[in-house]
Amino acid sequence: MSLARSRPRHGEQVIKAILLVAALVSVATTIGIVVSLLEPTIRFFGQISAVEFFTSTQWGPLFEPPHYGVLPLVSATLITTGIAIVVAVPLGLGAAVYLSEYARPRVRKICKPVLEVLAGIPTVVFGFFALSFVTPLLRGILPFEIEIFNALCAGLVVGFMIIPIVASLSEDAMTAVPSGLREGSYALGASRMITSLRVVLPAAFSGIVAAVILAISRGAGETMIVYIAGGGQPNFTLDLGKAMQTMAAFIAQAGSGDVPIGTVDYNTIFAVGSLLFVMTFAMNYVSARLVRKYREVYE
Amino acid sequence: MPNVTVRGPVAPHTAEALDPVFTVAGLSVFYGEYEAVREVDLTIGNREITAMIGPSGCGKSTVLRCFNRMNDLIPGARAAGKIMYHGEDLYGAHVDPIEVRRRIGMVFQKPNPFPKSIYDNIAYGPRVNGMKGKMDDLVEEALTQAALWDEVKDKLKQNALSLSGGQQQRLCIARAIAVKPEVILMDEPCSALDPIATTKIEDLMQELSRDYTIVIVTHNMQQAARVSNRTAFFTADVDERGERHGRLVEFDETSRIFTNPTDKRTEDYITGRFG
């Protein structure tokens, strides 16, 4: 009797090849994006000085005379994302703690899918919701004046949009905390709230950070909401009631116009895109390092 | 008060503890409609070690988890009958389960230290309960009582998960002691440990029973015989629908249970004929 393979297993090879292709597609897409961003970006910096790009506070590449200072776009992106985080992290974490630690199983079974539906709403819908509902509401209740198009509303609604990401992924991380840790805490006379805050949250910390990072990336790259509700004026200001243009919103605006290939205007779009890509990538990298450093390993 | 800390026969023979901390009468525990344990009566003597033994699924852990109302955390769990704690109904309407758990500590089957430093593990309970006093002293006292101080005194800031399984379990005992409970419940505390670590925990239990009332659930009959003053033997009845219901078969001084059991099922179990 031989222990050699008795019949060839061709099927396995085929499946392996298919799976490999599936994995390669997304890798290839990423590489393709980087390459397609890189080439026009390099040409852009051949035409416009990097010093102007990174230090000038005026942006208006499509105007005459053109200005190429990216800072207004960067600041608008940081501001709207910042507002979004301020909204989404407390609300998302609150929802996660509720669903994971307080809600009865039946409530959780209903609530979680509903929450996730929120993540599936097209962002263009959020955009018009912001412009036609939230902005008028804010104008009614805020003691100070805000413009029709403004960063505050855009940031708030981006925040609402990313709540499900924070909530759902954080809830997964908290549910994954071994129930033995909770029991250990309850057995010492800790209440549900203390157990959630001092045992479950720290134990789920790395997963929660990952959730927040993903939410920030989504928020920073968010286009339609800030395009519709934030307006198209690149203002370099901290006044949240003013219109602002984020990097993604500029790309959408410029990209939807008829910009001839190879011109400075065309290359500008890619330069801004590259910068956005680098910013999100850097953030992901730093946070991945942080998570590894502060991870509380159990088991 | 009679001296009940002496191991072995307490003369004259009494099945029930003379100085009870808990008096259980007609305790049944339900998970939803399912009756997991049926009509248990027993007493837990002050500063004694009471062992609860029996085959898997006989409800001994379920009964143990009633003593600190841990079952409250399971949706649908419900206790009928009475558990009196120093004459006070543990399931009375005015009773705060959180206060109950502060007075009645618990150690679990699998060591479950928090993923924090050794120091913070011990300090957690006192902090949560707003205990006064110098925290450093509290931590040292608890670790000393749990016979762990010498091993960890130089690495209090280290993560508790870096300790061995046996050390982790003693840390969990220290953590329970740190809130100065009256009773310590132990749910198969050695089942995840090697024999040497088990011996250490057993020695520790003997030590602790001078100051604390201990109730231990164990699968290990030798362990019950070695450490306990009284033993409750549980088994499970299977009803006509095939459901298992735990019940208490026999409760007596440990020496009687192991040398002269009155029930045939107890005898069969301790001699290894079933279970």
Mean pLDDT of A202-218: 90
pLDDT at B12 (0 to 100)? 56
Q: What ipTM was reported for this prediction?
A: 0.89
Please name every residue paired with B80 in a beta bridge, in sequence order, or none if there are none. Answer: B28
Average pLDDT, chain B: 89
Question: Is the Cβ pair A184, B161 closer than 8 Å?
Answer: no
Q: pLDDT band for position A3 (50/70/90)? A: confident
Q: Is the pLDDT of residue B11 over 60?
A: no
Residues in chain A: 299
Distance, in Å, from the CA atom of A198 to the CA atom of A251, rounded to the nearest integer, reads 43
Say if B75 is an interface residue toward chain A (CB within 8 Å). yes
Say if A294 is an interface residue toward chain B (CB within 8 Å). no
Min Cα distance B106 → chain A (Å) is 6
Three-state SS string across B123-187, please?
A: HHHHHHCCCCCCHHHHHHHHHHHCCCHHHHCCCCCCEHHHCCHHHHHHHHHHHHHHCCCCEEEEE
Q: Which homologous superfamily is A71-294 in?
A: MetI-like (1.10.3720.10)
pLDDT at A128 (0 to 100)? 93
User: Which residue did the predictor score with more confidence, A61 or B118?
Assistant: B118
Distance, in Å, from the CA atom of A204 to the CA atom of B97, rounded to the nearest integer, reads 26
Say if B120 is an interface residue toward chain A (CB within 8 Å). no
The two tokens of residue A118 are 């929120």
Closest-CA residue to B35 (of B215, B241, B274, B275): B241
pLDDT at A298 (0 to 100)? 55
Chain B neighbors of A184, CB-CB under 8 A: 108, 112-114, 172, 175
Task: Confirm if A73 and A245 have CB atoms less than 8 A apart.
Answer: yes
pLDDT tens digits for range B77-86: 999 999 999 9
Q: pLDDT band for position A288 (50/70/90)? A: confident
pLDDT at B2 (0 to 100)? 41
Q: pLDDT band for position A181 (50/70/90)? A: very high
Question: Is the Cβ pair A187, B108 closer than 8 Å?
Answer: yes
Place of tokens 């040409």: A43
Min Cα distance B121 → chain A (Å) is 10
Min Cα distance B163 → chain A (Å) is 12
Q: Which of A8-12, A252-256, B47-51, B189-193 has the lowest mean pLDDT?
A: A8-12
List, as ranges, residues 179-218 from B with C-beta within 8 Å of A.
179
Distance, in Å, from the CA atom of A72 to the CA atom of A295, rounded to the nearest integer, reads 36
The two tokens of residue A199 are 């045992």
Helix axes A264-294, A247-256, angle to 10 degrees: 150
Closest-CA residue to A130 (of A249, A214, A24): A249
Distance, in Å, from the CA atom of B197 to the CA atom of B203, rounded to the nearest integer, reads 10
Say if A102 is an interface residue toward chain B (CB within 8 Å). no
pLDDT at A119 (0 to 100)? 82
Place of tokens 């608008």: A76
Distance, in Å, from the CA atom of A67 to the CA atom of A63, rounded to the nearest integer, reads 8
Question: Is the Cβ pair A189, B128 closer than 8 Å?
Answer: yes
pLDDT tens digits for range A237-261: 888 888 899 999 999 888 887 788 8
Please name every residue paired with B248 in a beta bridge, in sequence order, or none if there are none. Answer: B234
User: Which residue did the predictor score with more confidence, B184 or A145?
Assistant: B184
Mean pLDDT of B20-43: 92
Distance, in Å, from the CA atom of A263 to the CA atom of B261, rounded to the nearest integer, reads 97
CATH 3.40.50.300 fits B20-270, yes or no: yes
List, as ranges, residues 133-162 from B with C-beta within 8 Å of A.
159, 161
Distance, in Å, from the CA atom of A274 to the CA atom of A33, rounded to the nearest integer, reads 10
Contacts 24+ apart (CB under 8 A), A127-131: A127/A157, A127/A224, A127/A225, A127/A227, A127/A228, A127/A229, A128/A228, A129/A157, A130/A154, A130/A156, A130/A157, A130/A225, A130/A228, A130/A229, A131/A228, A131/A229
User: Which residue did the predictor score with more confidence, B245 or A292?
Assistant: B245
Q: pLDDT band for position A206 (50/70/90)? A: confident
Distance, in Å, from the CA atom of A224 to the CA atom of A127, rounded to the nearest integer, reads 6
pLDDT at A295 (0 to 100)? 67
Mean pLDDT of A36-43: 92
Neighbours of A167 (CB within 10 A): 29
Min Cα distance A199 → chain B (Å) is 7
Distance, in Å, from the CA atom of A88 to the CA atom of A92, rounded to the nearest integer, reads 5
Q: Is the pLDDT of residue A113 over 70?
A: yes
Percentage of chain B lying above the pLDDT 90 cut: 72
Distance, in Å, from the CA atom of B89 to the CA atom of A58, rounded to the nearest integer, reads 75
Question: Is the Cβ pair A188, B175 closer than 8 Å?
Answer: yes
For residue A243, give the DSSP letter.
Answer: -
Q: Is the pLDDT of residue B93 over 70?
A: yes
